[in-house]
A and B are shown apart, each in its own frame.
Chain A
Amino acid sequence: ETGVTQSPTHLIKTRGQQVTLRCSSQSGHNTVSWYQQALGQGPQFIFQYYREEENGRGNFPPRFSGLQFPNYSSELNVNALELDDSALYLCASSSERPGDGYTFGSGTRLTVV
């Protein structure tokens, strides 16, 4: 069984630019959740996708958007990057059973300069 893969692992962008982060889900999982972890904080929920539809959203502005594809992989897009967007972005896949745990990727470290 394959795990969750995120790409790229590290990224440096300039303020105002746009970025796309990618995530594959674990085999058998149809739900993908994205979290942002800023320095010194716990992971903050951005949004979740279930069968290609957004299934929940945290307190993030609309410039954070996402997609899920038929193979359940997912993208996180951030427009008009701000310095505060510098963080570790974690992707996690799960089954549709809410009581199941998440399988996480190792994250994408985004630095905005």
Chain B
Amino acid sequence: ILNVEQSPQSLHVQEGDSTNFTCSFPSSNFYALHWYRWETAKSPEALFVMTLNGDEKKKGRISATLNTKEGYSYLYIKGSQPEDSATYLCAFASGGSYIPTFGRGTSLIVHP
């Protein structure tokens, strides 16, 4: 069973704050790391799929880094806005099955 851990479980920030969350995954047999944003009553939406150690990806105010050797990825949100409020899920795919195993997510609430 692959262990994918996300921290913190939940986070409350004020509008304009920058924030970051962590996803930890097995450091062996890495294939890909996915990040999704899941707003209430909507579908999870893919943010990034990262495959190379040292990868950094950016989409607007959201960026992510990847360290496959130590088994972690960080997701950063710069200048949080209320519309960033969502659950952020990461998922690890190993080289064996390629099928992503999800963490429990980090719930972000941005207060105006």
Instruction: Please report A residues at the B interface, Cβ cutoff 8 Å.
Output: 3-4, 33, 35, 40-45, 48, 56, 59, 90, 92, 98-107
Contact = CB atoms under 8 A, between A and B. Distances in A.
Nearest to B102: A42
Contacts, number: 56
Given A98-B98, A102-B36, 7 more contacts: A35-B102, A48-B99, A56-B97, A99-B32, A99-B51, A103-B43, A105-B43
B13 interface: no
A51 B98 CA distance: 16
Question: How would you classify the secondary structure of chain A's contact residues: helix, strand, loop or mixed?
Answer: loop
B31 A98 contact: yes
B99 A102 contact: no
Contacts of A106: 41-43
Contacts of A100: 49
Contacts of A45: 99-102
17 contacts: A42-B105, A44-B102, A45-B100, A45-B101, A56-B99, A90-B44, A98-B32, A98-B98, A99-B51, A101-B34, A101-B36, A101-B48, A102-B44, A103-B46, A104-B36, A104-B44, A106-B41
B14 to A, nearest CB: 26
B35 to A, nearest CB: 9
B77 interface: no
B89 interface: yes
Contacts of B104: 40-42
